[in-house]
Amino acid sequence: MASSAVEKLQIPFPREDVLNISPVYAKLRERAPIIPVTTPTGDPAWVVVAYDEAKIAFSDRRFGYYTHHDPKNAARMSDAAIHSHPMGGMDFEDQMVRMRKLLTPGFTPRRMTMLHEWVQSLTDSCLDDMQAAHDKNPGMPVDFHELLGFRLPVLVITALLGFPIKDGDYIIALSHRMGATNNGSDARAAAAELTEYMRELVVQKRDNLGQDLISDFVRAQNEDPDFFASRPLESFAAGLVFPGHETTVVRMDFGVLYLLSDPARRDWLMADPEGRIDQVVEEVLRTTSAHNYGLMRYANEDIEIGGVTIRRGDLVIIAESAANRDPAMFERPEEFDPTRKNTTHLSFGHGSHRCLGMSLARMELTTVFLSLFKRFPNVRLADDPSELRIDNTRVGGGVDHVMLTW
Ligand code: HEM
């Protein structure tokens, strides 16, 4: 494997607390913005820990987006079947850009305003379930993660992609297995099963196109049979489940954890909910570090950056949560402070692959935080957040429960 990254530190770095990132990042940043590390698969990589260099790695097209000149021999970030290895040869990124153009009209802020009422009604029904669980076992904590934080994004992505609602749990279970970092054969089996499911769904949809994203894919392919030349349509459809779901779940869970771990934060928000919610959502996005990995790029050529030379083919891991806590960019970066003026975090990435679903994600987070605190004004955490642990066996990380009481 061609690489110049010296094998040194092992990721993921140890972390004591779900609400804070590993202290190793700050120590490394004092040393250099880009550091050689070893991944859990034993492969060499570079980890970017500073804001400016992270922004460059996101936007400089010499850092290829899941593309590699020799994908079979490329370094891997983990054993997961998604977000851990190249998705194809050099034409994959061009294909991604075309798919992005196709999907963009479905994600405009205007479209999201239209979807808001629907997301609100889904949220209300999840809150009804939380109330029912509370009434069934008075005095016992209720799991926000199970009944809302996890549930709502499943319902939303199911409708957006256009698979039957009854299949939602099955699809998400497959997506979970694909994201496991420690069982490569099972992760790959789950990826193959999800792709097969999507293949059959596409066959059914061909005769019955709807207003969903998979139907949009089929329309694009009908107009241009080469639209999915580098990677089949069903693989792209399968690839949308994870980014459209896991990312949102963890921000909901962490938002509730941040806001309730110090009730003064919730009180500050609810003193002017509509006026302050946007600031709160941005600070939740900046501070949340859901996983202990990062976003991947492969160098398309030798690149001088941050005092090091990254060789063609090297794996570069952008630790966006470390960049979001770079003191050169954010004052008192460790503090959760929704009143901060600078909100230019990198949680949605930056540049040509910046998150396509960010308007949707912001709308979901806004709806959930406001609805939860309006419905249950006395809600509080049932567990000490310092007892919670990030799951390093999942590339998306996250927590399994957020127990609430009121
Ligand atoms: C709070 C929730 C979310 C967060 C934090 C998030 C974060 C991100 C980030 C960091 C990227 C860039 C990845 C990179 O450059 O390597 C990205 C890309 C993407 N996200 Fe999101 N995302 C969220 C929600 C969503 C949702 C709800 C959807 C869709 C339903 C979505 C769809 C996508 C897609 C399709 C891309 C790839 C864009 C491209 O390659 O051009 N995301 N997201």
Note the pLDDT tens digit of each residue in 227-268. 888 788 898 888 888 888 889 999 999 999 999 999 999 999
For 329, residues 6+ apart whose C-beta sits below 8 A from its C-beta are 51, 52, 323, 342, 344
Share of the chain above pLDDT 70, in %: 98
DSSP 74-143: S--S-S-SSSSS--BSTTHHHHHHHHHHHHGGGG-HHHHHHHHHHHHHHHHHHHHHHHHHHHHSTTS-EE
The pLDDT of 333-355, averaged and rounded, is 96
Note the pLDDT tens digit of each residue in 263-295. 999 999 999 999 999 999 999 999 999 888 999
CA distance 227 to 221: 5
Whether 343 and 279 have beta carbons less than 8 Å apart is answered as: yes
For 153, residues 6+ apart whose C-beta sits below 8 A from its C-beta are 244, 245, 248, 249, 252, 364
For 146, residues 6+ apart whose C-beta sits below 8 A from its C-beta are 401
Note the pLDDT tens digit of each residue in 156-170. 998 888 989 899 889
51: nearest Cα among 29, 35, 36: 29
Predicted local distance difference test score (pLDDT) of residue 6: 43
Predicted local distance difference test score (pLDDT) of residue 138: 93
The tokens for 285 are 């996005």
**With a 6 A CB cut-off, is 260 part of the ligand 1 pocket?**
no
What angle in degrees, to the nearest 10, is found between the helix axes of 184-206 and 168-178? 140
Predicted local distance difference test score (pLDDT) of residue 253: 96
Q: Give the distance from CA 19 to its chain's centroid.
A: 16
Range in 32-41, 304-313, 385-394 with the lowest mean pLDDT:
385-394
CA distance 330 to 68: 33
Task: Determine the distance separating the centroid of ligand 1 and the alpha carbon of 138, expressed in angstroms.
Answer: 39
Predicted local distance difference test score (pLDDT) of residue 52: 98
**With a 6 A CB cut-off, is 243 part of the ligand 1 pocket?**
yes
Is the model's pLDDT at 111 over the cut of 80?
A: no
CA distance 298 to 300: 6
CA distance 72 to 76: 10
From 158, 356, 367, mutation site for ligand 1 pocket: most ligand atoms within 8 A of C-beta: 356
The tokens for 70 are 């020799």
Domain boundaries, the chain: 9-405
> Is the peptide bond between 333 and the residue preceding it cis, with omega within 30 degrees of 0?
no
Q: Write down the CATH number for the domain with range 9-405.
A: 1.10.630.10
155: nearest Cα among 174, 142, 173, 169: 169
Residue 365 CA: nearest ligand 1 atom is: 1
Phi first, then psi: give them for residue 62, nearest 5 degrees. -70, -20
Query: What does pTM read for this prediction?
Result: 0.93
From 58, 112, 247, mutation site for ligand 1 pocket: most ligand atoms within 8 A of C-beta: 247
Q: Give the distance from CA 125 to its chain's centroid.
A: 24
Q: pLDDT category, 112, cuts 50, 70, 90?
A: confident
Residue nearest to ligand 1 atom 17, measured at CA: 355
Predicted local distance difference test score (pLDDT) of residue 391: 82
Range in 89-93, 124-128, 192-196, 302-306 with the lowest mean pLDDT:
89-93
Is the model's pLDDT at 382 over the cut of 70?
A: yes
Is the model's pLDDT at 129 over the cut of 60?
A: yes
Share of the chain above pLDDT 90, in %: 69
Residue 230 identity = S
Using DSSP, state whether 182 is helix, strand or coil.
Answer: coil
311: nearest Cα among 322, 319, 302: 302
Is the model's pLDDT at 321 over the cut of 80?
A: yes
Predicted local distance difference test score (pLDDT) of residue 356: 92
156: nearest Cα among 244, 242, 243, 218: 244
The pLDDT of 328-337, averaged and rounded, is 97
Place of tokens 């530190």: 9
Predicted local distance difference test score (pLDDT) of residue 83: 84
**With a 6 A CB cut-off, is 363 part of the ligand 1 pocket?**
no
Predicted local distance difference test score (pLDDT) of residue 5: 44
**With a 6 A CB cut-off, is 265 part of the ligand 1 pocket?**
no
Predicted local distance difference test score (pLDDT) of residue 246: 87
The pLDDT of 6-10, averaged and rounded, is 68
Predicted local distance difference test score (pLDDT) of residue 389: 87
How many C-alpha atoms does 169 have within 13 Å on its Cβ side? 3
Note the pLDDT tens digit of each residue in 199-209. 999 999 999 99
Kindly state the helix (H) or strand (E) to which residue 9 belongs, with its residue range: strand 9-10
337: nearest Cα among 227, 234, 258, 254: 258
Q: pLDDT category, 4, cuts 50, 70, 90?
A: very low
Using DSSP, state whether 372 is helix, strand or coil.
Answer: helix
Using DSSP, state whether 190 is helix, strand or coil.
Answer: helix
Kindly state the helix (H) or strand (E) to which residue 305 belongs, with its residue range: strand 303-305
Maximum alpha-carbon separation in the chain: 62
CA distance 17 to 254: 12
Is the model's pLDDT at 193 over the cut of 90?
A: yes
The pLDDT of 102-119, averaged and rounded, is 85
Note the pLDDT tens digit of each residue in 20-62. 999 999 999 999 999 999 999 999 999 999 999 999 999 999 9
Mean per-residue pLDDT over the chain, rounded: 92
Is the model's pLDDT at 2 over the cut of 80?
A: no
**With a 6 A CB cut-off, is 348 part of the ligand 1 pocket?**
yes
